[in-house]
Amino acid sequence: MEFFVSSSKRPIIFACFLIFLVLLISYSNSFTASWQFDDQPNILNNKNIQIENLSFESLKKSCFSPKNKNKISRPVAMISFALNWYFHQDNLFGYHLVNFFIHFVNACLLLFCIILLFKTPKLKEVKVNLFFISVLSVLLWALNPIQTQAVTYIVQRMVLLAAFFYLLGILFYLKARLSNAKKYYFFVFISYLLAVLSKENAAVLPATLLLIEIFFFNKDLYKKDIFIWAGILCIIFVLVCIFFGNSDFLFFVKGYSGREFTLNERLYTQGRVLIFYISQLFYPLPDRLSLSHYIPLSQSMFVPLTTFFSFIAIFFLIGFSWIYKKKYPLLCFGILFFFLNHVIESSIIPLELIFEHRNYIPSLFIFLPISYLFYKCILMCRSIFIYNSLIICIIIVLIFFGVSTYQRNIVWQTKKSLWEDALSKNPQDPRALNNYAINLAWTSKKKKDKYLAINLFKESLNYPMPRKLVRAEVYGNIANIYSNMNLNMRALPYYDKALKLDNRNTKIRFDYIKLLFLLGKIEEADKNADILISSNVKNPDYYNLKGFILLWKKQEIEALQYFQKALNFDPYNYKNILINTGFALSELGFYKKAEWFYKYSVKYKPQTDVYEIFLLIENSIKSGDLKKADSFTDILFDNFSIYQILSDLKKIEKIKTHPPLKKSNFDFFIKEKIIKTIEKAENKKVF
């Protein structure tokens, strides 16, 4: 701390302790909040970060995107998740603890930044209670309930880490300028690099440093400076293209092909979004906060009319801040800092329209002029009553922020509560409709809830989706619900609609093939299975499904080839593949090998069912080993009742979820055993 601010340690330590205590109380109920939304693909389903050791190779692997093995994706953040996984696996507490600690450290770094800003040439002569202004500014930022989306939402550690290194970069820059020590510029560069590798929106840090030069060091720009900073801005653009657009410099144009809005519509809409962000920051009622917001698209500058007024307000704020930068440096810097740090996520890049966590960095200095103004008002007070009223007022505001943050964290506790909250506030938001419907459909067994989920999915289709392909997923989800309710004919047209919109969606095609097979459309299922395999997605379930279809077509040799490929992905870890392989071998006359696969499937997952023992009995009879068949039949009778055995035997040939087992091959043997068992029981009664 002394390294950065070079002042008395005691008040700074007290300030940090106060910030920690207040934040801990406000976030005390966040440590058990559930995994949410993007946590699933980035952490729970991301094999890259689920490391078992701390070797260089493991950590290197965690840096790569789970979707693209050749693309590095926010490596600093992903390594932090990998370390969390190594120590805590999927235990939520550890992840939330790290997020909270980073947020607290960021608050302390912001405190140091404000202290150093008041040591710059522009502000060093200003006589203020620096402790009061800096602590109040930090608390208004850190306690603001809008920050819960960055702190409690685990995956947004990305923005927390970006802010951490961003603030470090500012601190080192201020230290370099105030001490004239050029060595600190190296740490500025390292901080900048780590910030961008945490999340790409930190790329504007050099432009922020230029603002600091202009506002607090009275720097006038000359031609030489303009060329230098223009070069830096070009570097920023290149970095954005590398990390956002996979080195494609026109990615921001091409990316709109997957969106249901155009570049112009996004730009116009962002004017309203930015004003909405500002209103949330200064009026952050929990009822105004949500994981997902629905904001109708702006078709032009005047449709809706609020677009025009939003841009007028933005241009006024930016113009005012530039004109009066010398007279009101804190106010003007806070405003320009806010808009500058929204320039990546609220401009031409084809990202989704609105997320609250995007305000985490832009809002860093927005409460500094408010705190300074409040301090000035206190100084001008000549009445003790007004003085006390102002102090009580600011305490009430801080308590309100803290309580609102606590209330907001309650909403984050479960998926159901989060999406219920989002839907209640944004009933027209397709994401809220879809995610609430997903939670309802797969957690409830009630038919009425499943029909409600279907209606919610259908309702979402009336609104613009975040991505065009989401519409295909909605159709796929409707089809899945109908299919799970055994309403297969209703499901079929929705699968067709989904695949027309997104014929590359392997998950939807996989489910579609299973439905076609159940409906007896084996040839059509086989053709779609070939399309699925040609997608080159290395999923053992896809190869197993293709082989399974071939089993029913009596093409056992061809089926074995697909089962072998499926097993190559993860040998002997897929029960259904082992059973299917055993059946194919049995049909081809390799009875001992078939028995080995059958037994291994039971060993892999000991919870056997009647069908698995039927397979072992049938295989033994076909091989001519009746003694072994008899021993397997004894196992059958030891584990299941005669009623269950006869019931399953009756419907065995109607089941299409298992290989095509012929009842005539072994039912006589089982029935004979049943007769003998009954005769023995009767003889015991006689004697």
Residue 568 within any structural domain of the chain = no
| Mean local confidence (pLDDT), 145-169 | 98
Are residues 425 and 290 in contact, defined by beta-carbon separation less than 8 angstroms? yes
Domain encompassing residue 102: 2-35+90-386
Confidence of residue 477 (pLDDT cuts 50, 70, 90): very high
Confidence of residue 396 (pLDDT cuts 50, 70, 90): very high
Q: What is the pLDDT of residues 421-455, one digit of tens each?
A: 999 999 999 999 999 999 999 988 899 999 999 99
Are residues 499 and 472 in contact, defined by beta-carbon separation less than 8 angstroms? yes
Crossing angle (nearest 10°) for helices 384-411 and 9-26: 50
Q: What is the pLDDT of residues 570-625, one digit of tens each?
A: 665 678 899 999 999 999 999 999 999 998 887 655 456 788 889 999 999 999 99
Residue 292 within any structural domain of the chain = yes
Q: What is the pLDDT of residues 244-299, one digit of tens each?
A: 556 565 666 678 888 999 999 999 999 999 999 999 999 999 899 999 999 999 99
Residue 54 within any structural domain of the chain = no
Tokens found for residue 492: 């079929």
Q: What pLDDT was estimated at residue 687? A: 44
pTM for the predicted model, two decimal places: 0.88
Task: Indicate if the pLDDT at residue 8 is higher than 70.
Answer: no
| Mean local confidence (pLDDT), 332-355 | 95
**CA distance linking residue 506 with residue 533, whole number of Å:** 9
Q: What pLDDT was estimated at residue 381? A: 84
Q: What pLDDT was estimated at residue 76? A: 96
Q: What pLDDT was estimated at residue 208? A: 95
Average pLDDT for the chain: 90
Confidence of residue 662 (pLDDT cuts 50, 70, 90): confident
Are residues 567 and 577 in contact, defined by beta-carbon separation less than 8 angstroms? yes
Residues in the chain: 687
Residue 350 within any structural domain of the chain = yes
Judged by average pLDDT, the poorest of 24-33, 49-58, 535-544 is 535-544
Percent of the chain with pLDDT over 70: 92
Q: Which residue in this structure is represented by tokens 């806010």?
A: 338
Q: What is the pLDDT of residues 99-155, one digit of tens each?
A: 999 999 999 999 999 999 999 999 988 888 999 999 999 999 999 999 999 999 999
Is the pLDDT higher at 521 or at 239? Answer: 521
Number of separate domains in the chain: 1
Nearest residue to 430 (alpha-carbon basis) of 453, 454, 464:
464
Residue 132 within any structural domain of the chain = yes
Q: What pLDDT was estimated at residue 223? A: 57
Residue 515 within any structural domain of the chain = no
Q: What pLDDT was estimated at residue 682? A: 65
Q: What pLDDT was estimated at residue 220? A: 67
Residue 80 within any structural domain of the chain = no
Asked whether the CA dihedral 285, 144, 338, 241 is positive or negative, the reply is negative
DSSP for 191-246, written as a single string: HHHHHHTT-GGGGGHHHHHHHHHHHHS-PPP-HHHHHHHHHHHHHHHHHHHHHHHT
Q: What is the pLDDT of residues 170-219, one digit of tens each?
A: 999 999 999 988 899 999 999 999 999 999 899 899 999 999 999 999 76
Residue 50 within any structural domain of the chain = no
Q: What is the pLDDT of residues 12-37, one digit of tens each?
A: 999 999 999 999 999 999 999 999 99
Is the pLDDT higher at 545 or at 670? Answer: 545
Task: Indicate if the pLDDT at residue 3 is higher than 60.
Answer: no
DSSP for 117-143, written as a single string: HTTSTTTTT----HHHHHHHHHHHHHS
| Mean local confidence (pLDDT), 633-642 | 86
Amino acid at 563: F
Confidence of residue 686 (pLDDT cuts 50, 70, 90): very low
| Mean local confidence (pLDDT), 340-368 | 95
| Mean local confidence (pLDDT), 348-367 | 96
Q: What pLDDT was estimated at residue 606? A: 46
